[in-house]
Chains A and B, each alone.
Chain A
């Protein structure tokens, strides 16, 4: 018989131990999944987790994928701390890509050095504008932001589909649903030759540090935390919950928009019907796995990026479906939520003494 007994104080060890434990459980469950499918579990796990990053190109790909995940998750985590459940980062990312991409396509022959900075600002503003809708509907009409931000994701994706099939379709592209390729001035500079890793990865590192500083050292971060933990105490302190809703959605939307801009001006180089394999959704997992802490999110983003690469590797080597990635990500989040119970509870084995 296993029981959970409340701890007197939350366990410091488990705050950091739980994510590691969750990763271990995921590995075990993954091994079981692979062997159930008739594959050698150790070899499969090797292919999934080690093989993809065994050379330098693999490593650059890892950070390339970690970039949008981390960016989105840092923004979402601020909201989650403040009890603002923006789950529409995917849509905000798409909007950032659309707005910055539209600029790149309109001035496709520009060589101006200002094009890229303008695209970055446009991407951020695009994401923000899309996140402003749920913020407005929440603060003005109390409409649930979970549902509105998610519905807007579908709208954004369809809007992108409309654009690449219509107004922004490449006139010389044989009716393929794609935009023109961006000009060189609209592409992010690469960090290494022979790789796709771009300067956005460095900007992301800077954003992570900034996010950490804001959340732990400023009154703004303190306000978000108080509003999220105890709305009544926030009232008492005189913090405005509406301001926190706006702030966290603007931050989440802006960073997701930036991530979208990085994708189209980085590895993709044009507008396509699909520009993200669900980065905006997966960022939710990354945010939780990283303990809603920017530095933790950076580590978690890298780990989850690996699940994308691993999924591609086992698809090629074992001809398993790409959906393995989603299964792994889902399992990881489940195990993490379950392991979190150990922060406030300890496991006790054996029966409880009954009354005599």
Chain B
């Protein structure tokens, strides 16, 4: 047995992250650790990698009881880790990043040679002299994997490795992982994506609310049965109203471009699309391909250089700030819930003022009306089933899913004409995700135009009517969702815009 955990417990002041967790990983297997957001997966692997120490329980490595005090010691034992939010240093080179993340201290020149060797061997091409901030997300993951492999690990922990990749990149990653398994290495694969686990993993341990709730062979289980184990309740699939009617053009974006000197973000290049009332329009794409710029231009947080590039109901709004666009009926739910959509240290009531000032009676003649803000917050909490201590609770005290419900509720109660939502269910548990999806569909049926920007393809296929793909700041032509396949979207996410035409012609035929 390569790794065995018995009775691992870790408690934080607010919750018990792991409650007497037992499981084991054998040599040469890909073992899935499956669970919802907040189930305790990340905490568990942080303890295996020595970033945190368990309160109770024992870790056995190759049959020996060990205390893993820090990541350096984990690496010495032969444990490597590829992080979900990469542990890379943006303004440093690939070489420096690798040198920082391995135990041995040799001359950098030799290390550079070894990086090239290993990356060639596993088909993960890398240039040691490149700076991290010039690399794509997929390339950054390669740096992490190569860094990990240089240590010749016998166990590799991968925390949600596919959440930032295109479907084609995922396939390539799987080829590499299977090859590592053939070499006798074990992989602990953390994910909540069931089809991936079915395709790749030999065994799965399912975690719910910090406890192990099941063990299975993914190839023998259906995705549905694993999902039920993971979520613990029946999942509702959002209901579509077949009679909903698509109306007039609500948001028209025409040749929207922007460029900055900022090397950390992608520019936008001639983005054009239309969102009609009564439809949900999806924008798919891997993070960092210009979504943030597109969103900030649409919300008015960044002004468009060309006033006419963005039109709402025929009115040019490119030069209007967020406040004026809100007055025209725009509502916006940003990706970052804490620190963008809300002020973490302020109460929920105060947070209603953030998007409510000037478009409601919360502020009159420049004076704040606290009782009205509290009433509004209470109304949102009730209508959207937000679990919280009340309207005086600080935003940061809410769980991700509940805060997202609050923000979506806050924007929906304004009955917007146009709603722009980024990552509506990112990091949200399944129950909350389902209710958010249902709320969006209901709003669409009432005639609102909705733009959803998301990295989650399952989500986009489930709720959108039409979708387009953003890659390197360019947006593909839009397609009806029911005429689109995951493979097509994947090609576009990889920036293969030459094949867009093929797609177009095919669709027209």
Contacts and interface: CB of A to CB of B under 8 A. Distances in A.
A233 B53 contact: no
Given A236-B332, A237-B322, A356-B56, A220 B344 contact: no
A230 B322 contact: no
Interface string B308-325: 000000000000011110
Interface string B350-389: 1001110110000100111000000000000000000000
A219 B299 contact: no
A245 B345 CA distance: 21
A135 to B, nearest CB: 21
Contacts of B358: 238
A220 B340 CA distance: 19
A235 B394 CA distance: 20
Interface residues of A, number: 26
B250 interface: no
Contact of A236 (B299, B324, B345, B366): B299
Nearest to A6: B13
Contact of B343 (A5, A217, A233): A233
A355 interface: yes
A9 B367 contact: no
B387 to A, nearest CB: 15
Given A220-B366, A222-B353, A233-B341, A238 B14 contact: no
Contacts of B427: none
Contact of B326 (A219, A220, A233, A238): A238
A8 interface: yes
Interface string A285-314: 000000000000000000000000000000
A229 B322 contact: no
Given A219-B363, A355-B54, A356-B56, A232 B397 contact: no
A355 B343 contact: no
B301 interface: yes
A226 interface: yes
B234 interface: no
Contacts of B322: 235-238
Contact of A5 (B13, B67, B367): B13
B368 A236 contact: no
Contacts, number: 86
B504 interface: no
B446 interface: no
**A217, A238, A240 pick with most chain B CB within 10 angstroms:** A238
B480 interface: no
A355 B13 contact: no
B300 A238 contact: yes
A247 to B, nearest CB: 13
A320 B266 CA distance: 63
Contact of B345 (A7, A8, A218, A229): A229
Contacts of A5: 13
A355 B53 contact: yes
B218 interface: no
Interface in A1-37: 5-10
A218 B394 contact: no
Given A219-B367, A236-B334, A237-B357, A229 B343 contact: yes
Given A9-B394, A355-B56, A218 B343 contact: no
Contacts of B14: 8
B58 interface: yes
B48 to A, nearest CB: 13
A68 B162 CA distance: 61
Contacts of A140: none
B339 A232 contact: yes
A218 B368 contact: yes
Nearest to A5: B13
B340 to A, nearest CB: 4
A353 interface: yes
**A5, A222, A355 pick with most chain B CB within 10 angstroms:** A355
Given A217-B367, A219-B366, A238-B300, A230 B321 contact: no
B239 interface: no
B346 interface: yes
Contacts of A230: 339-340, 343-344
Given A238-B323, A355-B57, A226 B366 contact: no
Contacts of B334: 236
B342 interface: yes
A345 to B, nearest CB: 10
Contacts of B324: 238
Nearest to A232: B340
Given A8-B397, A218-B368, A237 B57 contact: no
Contacts of A236: 299, 301, 322, 332, 334, 340-341, 354-355
A218 B367 contact: yes
A52 to B, nearest CB: 39
Contacts of B323: 237-238
Nearest to A354: B53
A9 B368 contact: no
A342 to B, nearest CB: 15
Interface string B62-87: 00000100000000000000000000
B307 interface: no
A353 B354 contact: no
**B53, B67, B301 pick with most chain A CB within 10 angstroms:** B301
A219 B357 contact: yes
A146 to B, nearest CB: 23
A356 B339 contact: no
B195 interface: no
Contacts of B13: 5-8
A218 B366 contact: yes
B342 A233 contact: yes
Interface string B433-465: 000000000000000000000000000000000
B182 interface: no
Nearest to B355: A237
Given A5-B13, A230-B339, A238-B322, A356 B58 contact: yes
A211 to B, nearest CB: 15
**A217, A220, A235 pick with most chain B CB within 10 angstroms:** A235
5 contacts: A226-B354, A233-B339, A236-B355, A238-B326, A355-B67
8 A-B pairs with the lowest CB-CB distances in the bound complex, closest first: A238-B323, A238-B322, A237-B354, A232-B340, A235-B301, A230-B343, A233-B343, A355-B54
